[in-house]
Chain A
């Protein structure tokens, strides 16, 4: 059990331990949905929301259901089931209130279910033995960190419309290279705050 304050974990999850730029989790939707700032903002918000809620739910389920009954080994299946159910709810919600965003996100909204960043956040929470408050801080920070990273990439990709990228590098390859430079810049924060 670490005694770092939830606030520090929140900041660390955004900058020093950005779940995307240091752990490289959630790359598929990061690359695929970063063509436009608006879409990526929507996806970033959805991921943040889902991440906070599922870390909270998973915390409660893990510590009050799985552990007391000695079912800790079932965490993977249970976590994924919780995430899938929750994403289904979000999907219905988005479809009802913002059909435009719903169509813009397309397949990637249901795919949040298998966004490794979200399962990753829940698993990190267990491995690092966070308390409930710390888990909320971590979930929120990791989600915002993911959203910030995808927003940055989307901005750069919009600007790159005026670039003249070699044919072989168009699309995903150049996005990977940009992600690499992003990660390089984020290395500057290393050691500022510790996550544990």
Chain B
């Protein structure tokens, strides 16, 4: 890697203060930091010796998604790779434009959004839509609010929501049947069947609306159609437990979502408000937990520390709001899946929850004297 370092060192003056391409310094900095450890050191004492920083935090999040990315490659083919590349390229372009104008560095926050975004899209989606969606999400959801750490909405979800509302027909025609066998679709560049013939593939959740529910095992392993990274329940749980274990994700949010989801679904079945083709109480609940984007959203999207509440009680209520809204949207609206809307709604009420929790705590402290 010496030669690469030499090139980087050689072009550095061009980008530094007074250089010709000074304007593009943030882009250069991001590239340099991506390739090599930065040479800057803290000057003088004291040094904070804490192993967790933004970069480490984001790396953990990316590592936890890796199993899902491989599952997406296996089930839906090589098309996932250009989707990820387009997502990174378009998102980074917006990010870089803002960094250049603001004269700040590009930070690691986007690397998580860039990988999560293709994972929540239908695998057969046209590439231009990936680009438009991620650009919209990063611009409206994050950069207008000041970039990583200052956003109030989850950028990937804003992008997904935008695509779902703006191009509903294209989105619903982009599902691909999952591959099976030894190699799955690893050797294929599968596109949506709608491009060649008129047969559209249904996701398990939309089939369930028609009264057909596939086997729970299929949902657990993931050989069903659905958004690229959300199909394999077991790999999501694996990555999610890793996130909880490293304390990047907070368990309260996840527990709030899953518990409220299970309880409300159970109550609806018991009360006779909804009925599924699978008999019993427990198995339809498990089916619905594994189906669609619930687990992916609960572990990877809702736990985003920036857009979720900071207080612990707030996190519980936030989880409960997301879980129960998902149940309501899934069962009673025209939409098949409601996790995107539910988490976005959670992001919206998060600041109010924090304010309410703090106000109640202050009042209690005052009354205690």
Interfacial residues, chain A to chain B (CB-CB below 8 A):
37, 151-152, 154-156, 158-160, 162-166, 169, 174, 177-178, 180-182, 184-193
Chain B residue contacts of A188, Cβ below 8 A:
325, 329, 333, 335, 338, 340-342, 344-345
Mark the stretch among B64-72, B79-87, B142-150 that contacts chain A. B142-150
Mark the stretch among B6-14, B122-130, B183-191, B349-357 that contacts chain A. B349-357
Asked whether B150 lies within 8 Å of A162 as measured between CB atoms, the reply is yes
Asked whether A158 lies within 8 Å of B332 as measured between CB atoms, the reply is no
Of chain B, the residue at the smallest CB distance from A191 is B334
Asked whether A151 lies within 8 Å of B352 as measured between CB atoms, the reply is yes
Contacts A155-B351, A163-B152 given; indicate if A177 touches B144 (C-beta within 8 A): yes
- Other-chain residue from B152, B333, B351, B352 in contact with A189 (beta carbon distance below 8 A): B333
Docked pose: A141 CA to B333 CA in angstroms: 19
Mark the stretch among B158-166, B234-242, B274-282 that contacts chain A. B158-166
Docked pose: A189 CA to B146 CA in angstroms: 29
Could you tell me the distance in whole angstroms from the C-beta of A157 to the nearest C-beta in chain B?
9
Is B153 an interface residue, CB under 8 A from the partner?
A: yes
For the complex of A and B, 6 pairs with smallest distance between CB atoms: A188-B341, A164-B146, A155-B351, A191-B334, A155-B352, A159-B351
Asked whether B145 lies within 8 Å of A192 as measured between CB atoms, the reply is no
Asked whether B162 lies within 8 Å of A184 as measured between CB atoms, the reply is yes
Q: How many A-B residue pairs have CB under 8 A?
A: 92
Chain B residue contacts of A186, Cβ below 8 A:
345
Asked whether B352 lies within 8 Å of A152 as measured between CB atoms, the reply is yes
Of chain B, the residue at the smallest CB distance from A188 is B341
Docked pose: A151 CA to B352 CA in angstroms: 8
Asked whether B344 lies within 8 Å of A37 as measured between CB atoms, the reply is no
Asked whether A160 lies within 8 Å of B152 as measured between CB atoms, the reply is yes
Considering only residues 324-348 of chain B, those with a C-beta below 8 Å from chain A are 325, 328-329, 332-335, 338, 340-342, 344-345, 348
Is B140 an interface residue, CB under 8 A from the partner?
A: yes
Docked pose: A193 CA to B102 CA in angstroms: 45
Give the interface SS of chain A, mostly helix, strand, loop or mixed.
helix
Which of B147, B332, B348: most chain A CB closer than 10 A?
B348
Could you tell me the distance in whole angstroms from the C-beta of B313 to the nearest C-beta in chain A?
16
Interface residues on B, range: 35 or more
Chain B residue contacts of A191, Cβ below 8 A:
332-335
Chain A residue contacts of B144, Cβ below 8 A:
165-166, 169, 174, 177
Asked whether B165 lies within 8 Å of A156 as measured between CB atoms, the reply is no
Of chain A, the residue at the smallest CB distance from B144 is A169
Could you tell me the distance in whole angstroms from the C-beta of B354 to the nearest C-beta in chain A?
8
Asked whether B332 lies within 8 Å of A185 as measured between CB atoms, the reply is no
Contacts A163-B145, A177-B144 given; indicate if A156 touches B348 (C-beta within 8 A): yes
Which of A156, A178, A186: most chain B CB closer than 10 A?
A156
Could you tell me the distance in whole angstroms from the C-beta of B27 to the nearest C-beta in chain A?
19
Could you tell me the distance in whole angstroms from the C-beta of A133 to the nearest C-beta in chain B?
23
Chain B residue contacts of A164, Cβ below 8 A:
102, 145-147, 150
Chain A residue contacts of B151, Cβ below 8 A:
163
Docked pose: A180 CA to B145 CA in angstroms: 14
Chain B residue contacts of A187, Cβ below 8 A:
165, 341
Asked whether B333 lies within 8 Å of A163 as measured between CB atoms, the reply is no
Asked whether B355 lies within 8 Å of A165 as measured between CB atoms, the reply is no
Contacts A155-B351, A158-B355 given; indicate if A190 touches B342 (C-beta within 8 A): no
Chain B residue contacts of A182, Cβ below 8 A:
348
- Knowing that A162-B150, A169-B144, A189-B333 touch, tell me 11 more A-B residue pairs with CB under 8 angstroms: A152-B349, A152-B352, A154-B352, A155-B352, A159-B354, A164-B102, A165-B146, A187-B165, A188-B333, A188-B335, A192-B328
Contacts A181-B344, A184-B162 given; indicate if A163 touches B338 (C-beta within 8 A): no
Could you tell me the distance in whole angstroms from the C-beta of A44 to the nearest C-beta in chain B?
12
Of chain B, the residue at the smallest CB distance from A182 is B348
Asked whether A155 lies within 8 Å of B140 as measured between CB atoms, the reply is no
- Other-chain residue from A152, A192, A193 in contact with B348 (beta carbon distance below 8 A): A152
- Other-chain residue from A158, A180, A185, A190 in contact with B334 (beta carbon distance below 8 A): A190
Asked whether A155 lies within 8 Å of B355 as measured between CB atoms, the reply is yes
Chain A residue contacts of B341, Cβ below 8 A:
185, 187-189
Could you tell me the distance in whole angstroms from the C-beta of B111 to the nearest C-beta in chain A?
20
Could you tell me the distance in whole angstroms from the C-beta of A165 to the nearest C-beta in chain B?
6
Contacts A151-B352, A177-B144 given; indicate if A185 touches B152 (C-beta within 8 A): no
Chain A residue contacts of B140, Cβ below 8 A:
177, 180-181
Interface string of B147-183 (1 = CB under 8 A from A): 1001111000010011001000000000000000000
Contacts A162-B150, A174-B144 given; indicate if A184 touches B328 (C-beta within 8 A): no
5 A-B residue pairings within 8 Å (CB atoms): A37-B352, A155-B348, A162-B150, A184-B158, A188-B329
Chain A residue contacts of B153, Cβ below 8 A:
181
Docked pose: A181 CA to B152 CA in angstroms: 11
Docked pose: A182 CA to B325 CA in angstroms: 15
